[in-house]
Amino acid sequence: MKNTRNFESFAVEGRFVLLEAGCGVGNTIFPLLRQPNLKNLFIYGFDVSETAVKITQESEFYDIQR
């Protein structure tokens, strides 16, 4: 049986939501957010390192809306 689900069925309020545990300084988050075909992607990222979180938040690519 073929899976007929598409990614839109996983959207929450019209956007895709991703959780990255242990995001570090955003080395995975920021390349994903820069993809033109992922404009409706929202990522929650967290890390136990306060320094890493601060560096992430100071990035030019950090956008609280995404």
In this prediction, residue 2 carries a pLDDT of: 55
Grouped pLDDT means (10 residues each) for the chain, 66 residues: 57 82 94 90 94 94 91
Max CA-CA distance within the chain?
A: 48
Per-residue model confidence (pLDDT) at position 21:
94
Beta carbons within 8 Å of 17's beta carbon, 6+ residues apart? 42, 43, 44
Confidence (pLDDT) at 15: 82
Q: What is the pLDDT of residue 52?
A: 95
Statement: the pTM of the whole predicted model exceeds 0.85: no
Residue 5 has what pLDDT?
56
